[in-house]
Amino acid sequence: MPKAASNLKAGLSKSSPDPLLPADREESALTVRLKQYLKPQDIAQVWGAYRYAFAAHDGIVRKTGEPYITHPVSVACILADLHLDVPTILAALLHDVVEDTDITTLDIKEKFGSQVADLVDGVTKLDKIEFQSASQAQAENFRKMLLAMSQDVRVILVKLADRLHNMQTLEAMRPEKQKLIAKETLDIYAPIANRLGLNEIYQSLEDLSFKYLYPMRYNAISKAIMVARGNRKEVISKILESIKQQLKAFNIEADISGREKNLYSIYKKMTSKATPFSQVYDIYGFRVVVKDMANCYLALGALHGLYKPIPSKFKDYIAIPKANGYQSLHTTLFGPFGTPIEVQIRSADMHNIADAGVAAHWLYKASDAQLTALQQQTHQWLQRLLDIQSESADSLDFLEHLKIDLFPDEVYVFTPKGKIMALPRRATAVDFAYAVHSDIGNCCVAVRINQELAPLRTELRNGDHVEIITGSMAKPNPAWLNYVITGRARAHIRHFLKSQQSTESAHLGERMLNQALRALHIEPKQITEAHWQKLIRDYGIKTKAEILSDIGLGKRQNVMVAHQLVAMTDNHLEKHTKLPTASLDTITIRGTEGMAVQFAPCCRPIPGDPILGFINKDKGLVIHTHDCPSVRKFKLDPDKWLDVEWEPESTHLFKTNLNLTVANQPGMLAKIAAGIADADSNIDNVSVEESDGSAYANLYFTVQVKNRVHLADLMRGLRKIPDVVRINRTKGNLHRRGTEK
């Protein structure tokens, strides 16, 4: 198992390897690393790729002034420290050849094989494709890289090593460019390294990003750590010796070492908890590495016998590993002089994985090889990325979902069968439902948390037992987007809503187009498939459904599309025969049209109200009452108005607002709520005007009714309640002075 990660920082802090040394020089920095784990014939293959890259980059100089070949060699050294296989080292040496020279991926494939060519292609940026904006280009690069990574995780290992060396040589860039690259590294690359368990690379990327984003803060904390290290040297030595003696007394063989927190993690702790540096006591901790898992718990007991533990500061990541495979026992003890001591206890195998993560034991040999637990977790995460990208409309959406999915803090919850699932902190029951399966998420209606019913927006906590209740007719609610956390949930919800809106808008658009065709004396069945195909070609789109959806959403006028279709018919072009006049259809409103038809919140129409339909771009058909104040400003644009009417036997419920003036007495709200329920109505929202000490109060309800008759029956019943002084229907949103209940 590689010492990789433990040597990584030390190896990289030295000067860059000299690329101009002859390939057979024994003291070459890359050769020294490769000799630790590769055969001579493998090293010869690596140097063949080195000479190829050297020739390709010959004469090119980096901004640091060094020959360009120093960069790919340094990237190869980082990966060699992780003991990665030969194809990965070759890809590291060749990763910029396709992007920066005339050499193609096909050339790489012919010379070094398809495996190396695929790795290089996965890392190569899309600079030769023009994008609308720099952010779109960045997002598309990430999308391509992560899709390649889902096929072979070595792609991201090369990319992370590439980014690490670029960050180490970032001083040659302009300050504004430094901050831009550092921000991107902190937002995307460092979390990915953490997600894959590459701890050393993760911490190095964080610290280097911190250095360029906040140079003054970086320098201040660096100096403070140097001072603290000197002040605490004697105490740390005493603690280290006492730990050694205690473990020896319990016959536990262990490798004990001190460790400092990286600068950025100290800075995050100071900012998140508003703590000055002088009160951050755990900048220095201890790591205890034992031979196996059983000894981890024995060592824990021994140390708890030496110093008293702080109960709230114990975490068992062995029983419940982190999502990146990290396993360890974390405990904080009251040390001498009341100093808190943070101790990590792990086995040797756990230590290797904690340092090198997925790179420590990724299999590249047989495709049917048994995956380890870490590989299975990584595979599941990569599969989630594939799901997210398939549901994302564009690369910017994908990048947004990816950032959400890279939250490092997690909660662990149990499924009904006792399986442990890791979710980001602040994840809700809806996030859990989509993590189980997209079909469960799309159909969830309620949740039981610890055997008790709870709202779907409930945030989950460590140890919660979660059971999702589904309904066969249920579908995602747009309001879920206000509180879901995971990228997977957001992507599935958005995809469903967009698909639903497109389908519903297409149905509405077809009804509107048929109305316009009949007004031009053409029956819809006279429009043939050939007519539609010609119109599709003229518009430069792919399907008829797109045209109908655009009409329903108000992006195209039904009359204009109808005229274009009529112009193609034989009746119009050849015979000019006037068909019998047909009456103009009226669009029937059922109340079940979904997102394609919206009821204006400014007047909240219900069946029985005289109504008008207004085509609003991107919102579709919006229904107003004929006396709505908003109608006046829209009447200047008659082309956007449609004749609409209510379906006679609609059973759908519609929202409307009621304003009640009542005696300010205890129990009035309950009496009115009971009266609304007795009338077979439902309360959607309620607010109460803040009390001013008077004998009367105003209550504002949004209720659901079938039609005006149902509303009249409801109001008649409420008037019979004693101490209801006045009741009337109001237009618009709930009274904003009220306090919602």
Structure tokens belonging to residue 716:
């008649």
Structure tokens belonging to residue 275:
């703590």
In this structure, how many other beta carbons lie within 10 angstroms of the beta carbon of residue 425? 14
Cα 284 from Cα 230, distance rounded (Å)? 12
Cα 146 from Cα 385, distance rounded (Å)? 8
From 372, 265, 268, 390, select the one nearest 324 (Cα to Cα): 372
Q: How far is CA 143 from the centre of its chain?
A: 13
Cα 211 from Cα 26, distance rounded (Å)? 35
User: Max alpha carbon distance in the chain (Å)?
Assistant: 107
- The sign of the torsion formed by the CA atoms of 513, 515, 519, 523 equals positive
Cα 494 from Cα 392, distance rounded (Å)? 8
From 163, 198, 158, select the one nearest 6 (Cα to Cα): 198
* Contact present, 729 and 715 (Cβ < 8 Å): yes
At residue 697, the 3 state secondary structure works out as strand
The residue ranges of DSSP E strands in 544-607, in sequence order, are 587-589, 597-599
From 668, 650, 655, select the one nearest 721 (Cα to Cα): 668
Q: Given the structure tokens 């990966």, which residue do they identify?
A: 79
Structure tokens belonging to residue 587:
């669009």
Structure tokens belonging to residue 334:
């009251």
Which string of DSSP letters, residue by residue, matches 611-641? EEEEEETTTEEEEEETT-HHHHHHTT-GGGE
Structure tokens belonging to residue 151:
């096929």
Cα 71 from Cα 56, distance rounded (Å)? 13
Please list the alpha-helical segments (H only) found in 232-347. 233-249, 263-272, 293-306
* Contact present, 451 and 401 (Cβ < 8 Å): no
Active site residue 18: no
Structure tokens belonging to residue 268:
């995050």
Sheet holding 466-470, edge to edge: 452-454, 444-449, 466-470
87 backbone dihedrals φ, ψ, rounded to 5°: -55, -35
Structure tokens belonging to residue 596:
């394609």
Q: Given the structure tokens 């997600």, which residue do they identify?
A: 195
Cα 489 from Cα 308, distance rounded (Å)? 43
The residues, ordered by sequence, that sit 6+ positions from 457 with a Cβ below 8 Å of its Cβ are 428, 429, 430, 480, 483
519-537 as b/e, with b when 16 or more CB fall inside 10 Å? Answer: bebbeeebbeeebeeebee
From 619, 596, 600, 611, select the one nearest 545 (Cα to Cα): 596
Which residue in 18, 66, 85, 99 is the catalytic one? Answer: 99
DSSP state of 97: H
From 530, 625, 619, 519, select the one nearest 569 (Cα to Cα): 530
For residue 592, count CB atoms less than 10 angstroms from its CB and return exposed for 0-12, middle for 13-18, buried for 19 or more: exposed
Structure tokens belonging to residue 309:
């533990």
Active site residue 397: no
Which residue in 18, 85, 100, 546 is the catalytic one? Answer: 100
In one letter, which amino acid is 551?
A: I
Please list the alpha-helical segments (H only) found in 95-189. 97-100, 105-112, 114-123, 134-151, 154-168, 175-184
Packed helices 86-94 and 105-112: angle between N→C axes, nearest 10 degrees: 140
Beta bridge partners of 258: 286
DSSP state of 82: T
Catalytic residues: 99-100
